[in-house]
Amino acid sequence: MKNFIYNEMMVHVPVCTAKAPENVLIISNDTAALEDEMKKHDAIAYKSIACGLDAIRNEADATYDVVICEDGQDAAVIAHISRVLKEDGLVSMTHPSLDNTQENKIMMQILGKYFKVIMPYNLGNGETALLSSKEYHPTADINLHRADMLDGLKFYNCDIHPASFAMGNNVRKEYLGIIKN
């Protein structure tokens, strides 16, 4: 089980970036903690599936507003994520450490085929995730009302949300032209 900071950041950053999410897909082999965070968004339906190409292949086109993925480092999985997302959908996914620049650049270039915005963000525990969006910008389009009205949070809030996207110059320079913001 991952810590509460990771779970809050994986769920609430993308859900509070999407304009009016109705359906969320969680792709993970350990969904319980992520599902607990989704329950705090009582008006949003969610579904969980296991990691892997076979599981996502069976999902219908343009069904989800948000995908939360703990296994998206494969071009075929990313293509299917894009396919199941609505035209303004977004995905938050885990990825290799930003120090592993070659692997990340390849993955970000694949994401760039499907998404207008690709930005790493701090999960609050020393790890980062990637938020990739077809329409919404995670710092400009945050739904402050949704972010502020959540109950039972220990870490995430409307101030943490945009701050999590701050990256040092070393990251900006290394990923110049790859990160799309």
Report the pLDDT value the prediction gives residue 2, as an integer from 0 to 100: 61
DSSP for residue 132: E
Tell me how far apart the alpha carbons of residues 80 and 32 are, in angstroms, rounded to a whole number. 23
Tell me how far apart the alpha carbons of residues 33 and 106 are, in angstroms, rounded to a whole number. 29
Tell me how far apart the alpha carbons of residues 51 and 120 are, in angstroms, rounded to a whole number. 21
What is the biggest distance separating any 2 CA atoms in the chain, rounded to whole angstroms? 41
Provide the CATH topology of domain 4-174. Answer: Rossmann fold (3.40.50)
With residues binned 3-state (H G I as helix, E B as strand, rest as coil), the percentages for the chain, rounded to 5, are 35, 20, 45
DSSP of 6-57: HHHHHHHHHHHHSSS--EEEEE-S--HHHHHHHTTSTT-EEEEE-SSHHHHH
Spell out the per-residue pLDDT of the chain, length 181, in tens: 468 999 999 999 999 999 999 999 999 999 999 999 999 998 899 999 999 888 999 999 999 999 999 987 789 999 999 999 999 999 999 998 899 999 999 999 999 999 999 999 999 888 999 999 999 999 999 999 899 889 999 999 999 999 999 999 999 999 998 889 8
Report the pLDDT value the prediction gives residue 152, as an integer from 0 to 100: 93
Half-sphere exposure of 42 (CA within 13 A, CB side): 4
Tell me how far apart the alpha carbons of residues 153 and 113 are, in angstroms, rounded to a whole number. 35
Please state, as a whole number, how many other Cβ atoms lie within 10 Å of the Cβ of residue 86: 18
